[in-house]
Amino acid sequence: EVQLVESGGGLVKPGGSLRLSCASSGFTFRSYSMHWVRQAPGKGLEWVSSISSSGNYIYYADSVKGRFTISRDNAKTSVFLQMNSLRAEDTAVYFCARMILVGATAFDYWGPGTLVTVSS
């Protein structure tokens, strides 16, 4: 059974940092690109960042570029999101998601999410 579980969320002051982790199991992690998607309270989904299966290709939404860093450890079957210079508008539930292996750029499995609150 495919499982994704995020951790590392919490309350942080504006300008602070957090590191999110997403532990995976039940599939060949090194074969899949992995992604972070967030959802502000009461709002829609927003793509945040992507990392290819090898880690060689990385992409960021303009809203987080230069502040967030995505990485992965294929040996530990985990993906990470280092978030620096956090702002109030970064407050959201952060989901990690696996992209479907072939075909459309769709996310076929999601974690339950971890809440990040940026507030003084």
CB of 75 to other proteins, least distance (A): 25
d(CA 88, CA 14) in angstroms, rounded, equals 6
d(CA 67, CA 38) in angstroms, rounded, equals 15
Q: Phi and psi for 67 in degrees, rounded to 5?
A: -115, -35
Q: Site map for other proteins, 61-90, x if CB under 8 A? A: x-----------------------------
How many residues in the shown chain lie near other proteins by CB under 8 A?
Answer: 22
CB of 15 to other proteins, least distance (A): 26
Residues 26-55 touching other proteins, rule: CB under 8 A, are: 35, 37, 44-47, 50
Pairing of strands 114-118, 10-12: parallel
